Amino acid sequence: MRSIRYYDKNAEILAKRYDSADMREFYEFIIPYLKGKTLLDIGCGSCRDVVFFTSLGFDVECVEPSIEFRKICSKKDSSIKIYNQKLPHIKLSKKI
């Protein structure tokens, strides 16, 4: 629970850091390994990756226990479905 409070307290500054990271090399590496069109992002944070993969046509399910990060994600795209859950007790609306 302490880590969730940390993320809630520092979400804005962390989101700026996460969003400024150059992820091109990672994306180029991972995309060939993705099978199907549905992805699960556990601990989606600022939704940086969610927004990117959604723009490529992927259906992305997100899990984020931090309310402040969920607010940041909703500001980026109100259609992003984010589950307010945490490991190991995640229940999704569909099988991924």
Domain edges within the chain: 2-83
Which of left, alpha, beta for 66 (phi over 0: left; psi -120 to 50: alpha)?
A: beta
- CATH architecture of residue range(s) 2-83: 3-Layer(aba) Sandwich (3.40)
Cβ atoms 56, 36 nearer than 8 A: no
What pLDDT shows up at residue 19?
97
Instruction: For the full predicted model, state whether its pTM sits above 0.95.
Output: no
Cα atoms found within 13 Å of the Cα of residue 79, Cβ hemisphere only: 5
- From the list 68, 36, 37, 62, the residue with the least C-alpha distance to 49 is 62
pLDDT in tens, 7-62: 999 999 999 999 999 999 999 999 999 988 899 999 999 999 999 999 999 999 89
